[in-house]
Structure 1
Amino acid sequence: MPTWGLIAEMTVGTGDRKHVEAYVLTHVEGSRDEALAELEGRARRFTPEHPRNPKRRRLFRDGDGFVLVIDGSWQSYSARFTVAELLEDSAAPTPRREPEPQPQPQPEPQPEPADAVPPRTPPLPSAPPARYADGVPVKPAWLGRSDLP
């Protein structure tokens, strides 16, 4: 099953220091359509740091993802959301190999002793707690509990 990377490239900074940075949002295992559906949800919910007071927000579908354009008071900012298949990851965790289960010998059934105590049956439910007319219990549920300090 392929692993898909959900990637966001967005405008960060302001003025002369404004530039584009890429981030891997998450990985999705499954079909490309499942990854695109997850990416669309993230693109719709995405709220960038800039612009602080957005005037207009537009989300476009592109071949492998989405482009979000947000117009601010003075400048527009953009974010590109892309689905890409993960081919290699130098920092991927190595898959743990589960040890094969060893067959366990089945214990011999023991005959029940004649004087065995029958299993304990659960107590019958007690009467519902007394309540005031507005539905509030007369005695709080925590009162009398020994497991509380």
Structure 2
Amino acid sequence: MTTWALVVETTVGFRDRKHVEANVVAHVEGSRAEALTELERRARSYQPEHPWSPDRRRLLRTGDGFLLVVDGAMQSFATRFTAAELLHDSAAPKPAADPPAEPARPSKAAGKQERRQEDERAEVERDADGVPVRPAWLGRPDLM
């Protein structure tokens, strides 16, 4: 399944110090259409930092995303929303190691504790909806 990075590039700063910063705001697993749907939802609700007093807001569809142009009293600010296929991520979490062929057997103490917890769950007083009357965490010494 394809992973899509949702990238937001926005204008920051004023006058001579104005520049563009890019951030990956989310990842979407699925089709390009699904990524663009999520990207459009984010673009429509996005509130840029500048301008402080917007006069006009225009959202435009481009080939790979959207362009938001917000006109202020003195300057216009643009924000580009792009759906890009993720090809490599050096900081991606490592895949889980293969599980052992034979599951480890619980110790006798762990088995006794599991049975005790099952017995406690069976003896819990419940209301008509099946919700425990007394929360399970109440009175636990390890939470004090």
Please name the residue that 1:33 is paired with. Answer: 33
For residues 103 and 10 of structure 1, what CA distance do their matches in structure 2 show? 51
For residues 126 and 68 of structure 2, what CA distance do their matches in structure 1 show? 61
- 1:10–1:102 Cα change, 3 Å: same
Please name the residue that 1:81 is paired with. Answer: 81
- Which structure has the larger Rg? 1
Q: Which runs of 5+ in 2 are unaligned?
A: 106-121, 129-137, 139-144
- 1:63–1:101 Cα change, 3 Å: same
For residues 39 and 3 of structure 1, what CA distance do their matches in structure 2 show? 13
Please name the residue that 1:50 is paired with. Answer: 50
- 1:14–1:103 Cα change, 3 Å: closer
Q: 1:98, CA displacement in angstroms?
A: 4.8
Give the TM-score, by structure 1 length.
0.68
Q: Which runs of 5+ in 1 are unaligned?
A: 106-118, 126-146
- 1:104–1:22 Cα change, 3 Å: closer
Residue 22 of structure 2 aligns to a residue whose secondary structure is: strand
Q: 1:80, CA displacement in angstroms?
A: 0.4
Note the alpha carbon deviations across 1:40-95, whole angstroms, 9 max, x for none: 00000100100001000000000110000000000000000000000011111111
2:56 is aligned with what amino acid? R
- 1:73–1:90 Cα change, 3 Å: same
Identity %: 59
For residues 54 and 25 of structure 1, what CA distance do their matches in structure 2 show? 23
Which runs of structure 1 show a deviation greater than 3 angstroms over 4 or more consecutive aligned residues?
Answer: 100-105, 122-125
For residues 68 and 88 of structure 2, what CA distance do their matches in structure 1 show? 28
> Is 1:15 the equivalent of 2:35?
no
- 1:44–1:104 Cα change, 3 Å: same
- 1:16–1:104 Cα change, 3 Å: closer
Residue 92 of structure 2 aligns to a residue whose secondary structure is: coil
RMSD: 2.6
For residues 124 and 99 of structure 1, what CA distance do their matches in structure 2 show? 40
For residues 55 and 87 of structure 2, what CA distance do their matches in structure 1 show? 39
Note the alpha carbon deviations across 1:91-144, whole angstroms, 9 max, x for none: 111111351563799xxxxxxxxxxxxx98x8896xxxxxxxxxxxxxxxxxxx
Residue 57 of structure 1 aligns to a residue whose secondary structure is: strand
